[in-house]
Amino acid sequence: MSVQRVSTRARHRTGPARAALAGAALLAVALGVTACGDDPAPTSQAPAAQQSPGRQVQSAPPSGNGAGLEANASSEAPKGTTKHVFPLQGKGSYSHDHHDYPASDIIANCGLNALSPVDGTVLEVTKVDTWTAKANVGSSRGGLSVSILGNDGARYYMSHFASIDNGIEAGTVVQAGQPVAKVGRTGDASACHIHFGLSPACAKTGDWWTRRGVIWPWSYLDAWKAGKEKSPVAELEAWQQKNGCPAKATTDR
């Protein structure tokens, strides 16, 4: 896809999020990275404003009461030292910014493997893209997506996938670095990327306004990309102590 085509498409998507994400894609193209088919390709970590809200349609998870990270830890896999990895196999770029709420968009070629960032258990999987520009609601913007409850009790959310890998279902135990999906642009996305969000488990399923992200992920992505261990648990616990588990969204963006 040419630089001009990416920009034109972004102007026809809903809201400022589309234009900012297209800007990140333009940066990746301008830096000379080979594009994947009809999509902009990534560079190594290049700062640019990128945007895309989260969304979930289909899920079949364990229930929870939002009592905190410890109480929400998965029973399927024992807790212990939790390993983290960068959630993409291949090159990808992401900024230290996002629209409306804390999250990161990892711009990457369509078809690359998205990886589980943590040892844990799948909470929710969305395998049907029901987003429409006319409705444009927060619960469906993420397209195909996967939510994982880490063995550390934190929740890891990724969306806009082209497809979900076979065997990835609610209740599936996954390991850090295991492929779970293919990078795409389903839902409200104008370029291939992974929307990445960190949150307390709270309701575990259905609470898209929390699941999409509540703390900034970029410092953790920086560490994992460099092969260093860094856990979001302490920051998420502090956020939950201050905010609890919101019962509804404060914004539909």
Give the confidence band of 250 by pLDDT, cuts at 50, 70, 90: confident
Q: Write down the domain spans for the chain.
A: 3-243
* Tens-place pLDDT, residues 202-218: 999 999 999 999 999 99
For residue 42, pLDDT over 70 is answered with no
More confident residue, 85 or 81: 85
pLDDT value for 96:
84
* Tens-place pLDDT, residues 93-151: 998 877 778 999 999 999 999 999 999 999 999 999 998 888 888 877 899 999 999 99
Average pLDDT, the chain: 76
Contact 184, 160 (CB under 8 A): yes
Question: How far is Cα 201 from Cα 241, in angstroms, rounded to an integer?
Answer: 13
DSSP 8: H
pLDDT value for 8:
33
Q: What is the pTM of this model?
A: 0.72
Contact 214, 198 (CB under 8 A): yes
Exposure string of 201-221, with b = 16+ CB inside 10 Å and e = fewer, is: bbbbbebbbbbbbbbbbbebb
Secondary structure of 106-117 in the HEC alphabet? EECCCCCEEECC
> What CATH number should be reported for the domain whose range is 3-243?
2.70.70.10
Q: How many CB atoms lie within 10 A of CB 75?
A: 9
